[in-house]
Every structure is written in structure tokens, then in C-alpha cells.
Amino acid sequence: SEYSREDILRIAESENVRFVRLQFTDILGTIKNVEIPASQLEKALDGEAMFDGSSIEGFVRLEESDMYLKPDLDTWVIFPWEHNGKRIARLICDVYDIDGNPFEGDPRSNLKRVVKEMEEMGYEGMNLGAEPEFFLFKLDRNGNPTTEPSDEGGYFDLAAMDDGEECRREISRTLEEMGFEVEMFHHENAPGQQEISFKYADAVTSSDNLQTFKLVAKTIARRYNLHATFMPKPLYGHPGSGMHYNVSLFRDGQNVFYDENDEFGLSKEMRHFMAGLLLHARGYTAVCNPLVNSYKRLQSGFEAPKYIAWSGRNRSPLLRIPSTRGAATRAEVRSLDPSANPYLATAAILKAGLEGVRNETELDTPVDENIYEMTKKQRDVENIEDLPTTLYTALKALKEDTVIQEALGKHIYKQFYDNKTLEWQMYSSQITEWELDEYLTQH
Ligand code: ADP
Ligand code: MG
Ligand code: MG
Ligand code: MG
Ligand code: MG
């Protein structure tokens, strides 16, 4: 591993780190912190830091609330910004219960469990390259976020010299300072919308990186008097924010998705993996698109997928195979959005793919026409199913998919399902502006 316990203690001392944040992620994807003064770092590194799990939404019952935080030493980073002149570092932690077992309600530990299943199947890793999109909005005079975009620039618009662009550049620079390899960043299709993609890594590291990325984007945006949001669809009539997941499996340092003897350069394992991704697509949608608002993106067209199909060519289906081969051979899952808890989404995607490999599920033929231009009848002939259209139907599909339930584990599945069902009920009981405009005078 990159850092030893002693390295970290030495660096903390020499860099004058005053506080350390012990971070983990709750079931809904929110980053939680237990902050300790540097004097307690040694204890924390030995896994002796405790917190009250009952204070975390959906974590544990009161009577079993003592939890331990075990830091992953490789995640040691000193934040490249100061808080009131003091330097703060962070360590991402796994949550353990009082008996010293990984806590089953901890999304990161849960992902590690699914990764282990993959290793038992003989793979060394799933590489994951995520492409999170987000919006930068202006703050009002009181410092509250608005939905006024940071700019009015368009896709790859060189003329859009504005705060949004400076801000995006600063986010990238900060990420690099924290050890990210930023591959590219650009303005996306909607006003104020940005994408920053960074180099793929193994399943757990990539998920950690997504959490760090969100924290950095929000922190830096504030400095530019902007608000970074990962809400999937903040603007009516404009594209929403997606988070494509590029995935491949590796064994002995080789990408097993690539087969130089195949007509298309794609291995059997890849075809099975993709077949699993298609078969469980309805099941993992609630996990990968967890908000009521997620479905407003999926339903709106633009580049968001509505249908369960794959293509080597066009960008309308759920799965695309980018044209590069060799080590970069990968499947791109296009339905996810950045409001997903990355640990849960990654566990669900990995499990779905592995299930396809395990059962040698047959991959359907690709759909290279634009699915949006096909009639319902044509889609029926080709056997193209829809993704769930609301959080409600997505939860129903999750309830019918025991493979995705297993990907979450019992504890997380129950908490997630109950919590999201409540969210749907709360939303459904609202009387919206749209309804009043539409119905109040008409009826
Ligand atoms: P797009 O053309 O879809 O906009 P991007 O360049 O924005 O693609 O992002 C591609 C992502 O795929 C990056 O995160 C990159 O590191 C990742 N990637 C490249 N090769 C692999 C691979 N073999 N497995 C998984 N991800 C990969
Ligand atoms: Mg991209
Ligand atoms: Mg792109
Ligand atoms: Mg994009
Ligand atoms: Mg993409």
C-alpha cells in the first residue's frame, strides 16, 4: 500500500495538519465526517475511533449503535484548502461493528464484499471510469443557490470565458493536486453544465474518487460564488446530468473484454457481462437513478437512455461500446446519474455483469438504428424494453430482482427500499404548480 501508519503520522506532523476528517458514506450517498484533532490520529489509525451509528439516518438501531471507523491508509489526503488558516486531512474509512466485523449497512464495506465475489471468479479487478456531469448555478445575495446558470455558453464553446469556466479549471487543478489524473473537462450541452472525467481505477477507488470529486466541486464552486449541483435534472427543457459508467474486467493485468480474434474485438466474457447488465437494468435503475428527479432526466430524451439495448455505434441505448479496443475495450452504461450513491451503484453494476458471466447469459443483437425514431411496434419486434419511468416503477423492479437485492445486502436493501418508498409517497402527495396551472381554472 501507498502509505504506512508511520508515513501518515510523520506527514501529519511535518505538514502541520491540525484536524483529520474520518469519512464514510451513508446509504443515501451523503458523506459523513467524524473530525478528530491531530493528537488523536494515532488512535484513529489503529482503528480505535468510535462513533454513534444511531445518529446516521438508516444506519443502525439504538441498542447497537457503537461503531468503529477503520481508515483505509491509501486514502490519506491533505485538503489543498485551509479552514480558518488550519490544515485538514481526510481518511476514508470502513465502518465496523462492535464485534469487529464489517458493518453490513456500510456501502463501502458492502462494495468490497461484491468485489470479493468477483475475485473468487478469478478476476483481479473491475476498472471503472465515471463521467459525472453537473451544473454550476449562481448564488443569490444571501448566498443561497439559484437555478441561474453560471453562463450561457454551449457545448465546447470556446467563447464562454466566464466564472463557470474558471471554476471548472480550478476544480480540475485541485483534483490533480489531490492525486487525480484528470483526463478531460468540458462544457456540456445545457447552460452552466460541466463534465470532468478522470482516469479509471478499481471499483472501490473509483467510488471513493466520485465522493471526493463531489466534495471538491462543491467546495471550489463556493469560492466563485457558485453552487455545484449533482441533481440530475434541475432545468426544464435542457439536458439533465448523467454519469456514464465505463467498465471492464481485468485478469493478470490484461483487459479480458478484449479478444483480438473476435470479429468485433469483443470477448465472450464481455458479451455475457453486457447481457447481465441488460437483464438486470430494470432492477438496478432505482439504485443508479435514486431520486424522483432522476426520472425527469431519463424521460426527457437528449442523450439519456430510455430503452434497454446496446449498440457499438449510436448513443441512444443504455449500453454503448466505445470504438477503442485493446486495454481500453469497455462497456459504457449510460443510464446512471450523479445523484447515485457510487458505492451502491458500483456494487449493483458489478453484480449484474458478473451474474451474466456466471450464467453465460446470451447477448441480444445490437440495435444500431436510433431507437427514438423507432415506433413502439418496431421496438416490440426487436424486443426492446423500457427502463422504469418513475422512482415508483423502479422500486417495483428492484423488488423483483433478487440479484440486485443481493448486491446491496439485506440491511442496505431494506433501508434503501423503505427510504425511497417514503420519498415517492411524499412526492406523490404534493400539489405542484403544474397541476394548479393546468387544472384550477379548467375544472
Ligand atoms: P466519452 O467519450 O464517453 O465522453 P470520456 O473520455 O469522457 O468518454 O470518459 C471515458 C472514461 O473511460 C474515462 O474515465 C477513462 O479513464 C475510462 N476508461 C478508459 N479505458 C477504460 C477501461 N478499460 N475500463 C474502464 N474505464 C476505462
Ligand atoms: Mg465524457
Ligand atoms: Mg461525452
Ligand atoms: Mg457527457
Ligand atoms: Mg460517455
- Cα of 312 vs centre of ligand 1, distance in Å, is 15
Atom of ligand 1 nearest to the CA of 129: 14
Active site residue 411: no
pLDDT in the model for residue 314 = 77
The DSSP code for 244 is: E
Using the predicted structure, report yes or no on whether residue 303 has a pLDDT greater than 90.
no
State mean pLDDT over 36-42: 96
Active site residue 57: no
How is 154-212 classified by DSSP, letter by letter? Answer: -TT-TT--SHHHHHHHHHHHHHHHTT--EEEEEE-SSTTEEEEEE--EEHHHHHHHHHH
pLDDT tens per residue, range 196-213: 999 999 999 999 999 999
Q: Do 409 and 104 form a contact (C-beta atoms < 8 A)?
A: yes
Using the predicted structure, report yes or no on whether residue 362 has a pLDDT greater than 60.
yes
Smallest CA separation from ligand 1 atom 8, residue? 131
Active-site pick, 94, 165, 195, 401: 195
How many whole angstroms from its chain centre is CA 363? 25
pLDDT tens per residue, range 140-183: 899 999 999 988 644 555 544 567 889 999 999 999 999 999 99
Read off the C-alpha cell for 38: 491531530
Active-site pick, 94, 106, 131, 355: 131
Q: Is the CB of 320 under 6 A from ligand 1?
A: no
Looking at all shown ligands, the one closest to residue 302's CA atom is 4
Active site residue 330: no
pLDDT tens per residue, range 10-32: 999 999 999 999 999 999 999 99
Active-site pick, 15, 42, 52, 435: 52
How far is residue 288's CA from residue 304's CA, in Å, rounded to a whole number? 13
How many whole angstroms from its chain centre is CA 311? 23
Q: What angle do CA 86, 88, 91 make, to 5 degrees?
A: 170
pLDDT in the model for residue 161 = 52
Please enumerate in sequence order all residues whose Cβ is within 8 A of that of 117, keeping only pairs 6 or more positions apart, or say none: 351, 354
pLDDT tens per residue, range 279-292: 999 999 999 999 99
Smallest CA separation from ligand 1 atom 11, residue? 129
pLDDT band at 72 (very low <50, low <70, confident <90, very high): very high
Mean pLDDT (the chain) is 92
How far is residue 245's CA from residue 212's CA, in Å, rounded to a whole number? 17
Interface pTM, i.e. ipTM = 0.97
pLDDT in the model for residue 54 = 80
pLDDT in the model for residue 153 = 46
Q: Which helix (H) or strand (E) holds 246?
A: strand 243-251
Q: Looking up cell 455558453, which residue turns up?
A: 153
State mean pLDDT over 223-248: 96
- Cα of 218 vs centre of ligand 1, distance in Å, is 23
State the virtual CA torsion across 176, 182, 188, 192 in degrees, nearest 10.
Answer: -10
Using the predicted structure, report yes or no on whether residue 234 has a pLDDT greater than 60.
yes
pLDDT band at 370 (very low <50, low <70, confident <90, very high): confident
State mean pLDDT over 188-193: 88
Q: Looking up cell 470529486, which residue turns up?
A: 213
pLDDT band at 51 (very low <50, low <70, confident <90, very high): confident
Q: Is the CB of 255 under 6 A from ligand 1?
A: yes
State mean pLDDT over 117-133: 97
pLDDT in the model for residue 160 = 47
Residue 427's CB is within 10 A of a number of other CB atoms, namely: 15
Closest by Cα among 312, 399, 407 to 363: 312
Using the predicted structure, report yes or no on whether residue 257 has a pLDDT greater than 50.
yes
Using the predicted structure, report yes or no on whether residue 42 has a pLDDT greater than 50.
yes
